[in-house]
Amino acid sequence: MKKSLLALAALTAFAGAASAQSSVTLFGIVDAGVARLSAGGTSVIGMTNSGYNSSRLGFRGVEDLGGGLQAGFWIEGQLSNDDGNAAGMNWQRRSTVSLMGGFGEVRLGRDYTPEFWNQTVYDPFGTNGIGSSSSIAMLAGNANVTTAVRSNNSISYFTPNLGGFSAQVMYAFGEKVKGTANEKENNYLGARVGYAAGPFAVHAAYGKTEGATDALDHKVWNVAGSWNAGFLTAMLNIQEERNGAGLKVQLIQPGVMVPVGPGVIRASYGRYNQKAGSVAWNDNDYNKFAVGYLHNLSKRTVLYATYARISNDGTQTKTVANNGLGGVMASPGGSSSGVEFGIRHAF
């Protein structure tokens, strides 16, 4: 009996030590809203998802390997809570495994590209909802624009924080057969470097994805920063996106976030200039204005409202849109607008 009790005590102590050295967390966000979009004399009203944060379900964990070394994983999938993921659940938001220590972090799998971080961090609306700059496909028709957010088959290195300075480098394999005409297609290389300490932050990033031909190469660079003055946070993002055929779009977007009691007022204005080949900047440009309010009911639950409007020049037809709702199309040189109300709960 005593031996059994001693064995049980030893097993319990071992299990406790193991659990103290590793952890696995289930996490997620459910974000749903109602929006009205209008353009060209037509309109649509319906449900949206991810108007403030992307709805998601995920698992992440860390194991202490000793000597300051850790292993980690992160599996995260997109939720479409307006239709219950009719297309089926996948894990394409993030699927990575990492090795971390005093040297920084080496991360393998599907993950954000370096240039995307500036778009989400330095936009008052992040990359969600009708107010975000990411709701507009800047370089339409390019076969590689999907890598502007995430890349498959990637290896990344993140430096440790060195007095506020940090950097990231990513390489992704296109996994095409060597010696074929498109052997470099979907190979990706990108980097991001910056400084963040106290109220000030600034980062610069660049990324290039190889196309099946030089004309389909996709390149993005951006420089962005923010300043927290207490009564407001000012942001600025400057970005250029281009392909090998000479199509180029430049974005200049200032924005602000103003705390008001338990909430935050958000506003941004984006000017998009388009250029085709050797022709001078043409008149197919567009502008986007957005303003919204977040009301924090708790640390995990937020109510939000956003209004956005796009004005097109020339033959441009950019349209306000969000996940789960679309169908309206701006007329060439016309405008579109939208209003969105929703609730986000994180767990």
Is residue 51 within 8 A of residue 43, CB to CB? The reply is no
Q: Measure the CA–CA gap between 208 and 188, rounded to whole angstroms.
A: 6
pLDDT at 140: 57
pLDDT at 247: 87
CATH 2.40.70.10 describes domain 26-346: no
- CB burial of 231-261 (b: ≥16 within 10 Å; e: otherwise) equals eebebebbbbbbbebebbbbbebebbbeeee
Burial level of 159, CB count in 10 A (0-12/13-18/19+)?
Answer: middle
pLDDT at 144: 56
pLDDT at 21: 63
Consecutive 10-residue runs of the chain (347 residues): their mean pLDDT? 44 44 92 94 92 96 97 95 79 96 98 95 96 80 69 97 98 92 91 97 96 88 97 97 89 97 97 81 88 98 98 92 81 95 97
pLDDT at 18: 46
For the chain, the domains span 26-346
pLDDT at 1: 43
Q: Which residue has the tokens 């022709």?
A: 279
pLDDT at 212: 82
pLDDT at 104: 98
Sequence-distant (6+) residues with CB within 8 A of 255 are 122, 123, 124, 125, 234, 235, 236, 237, 266, 267, 268, 269
pLDDT at 13: 45
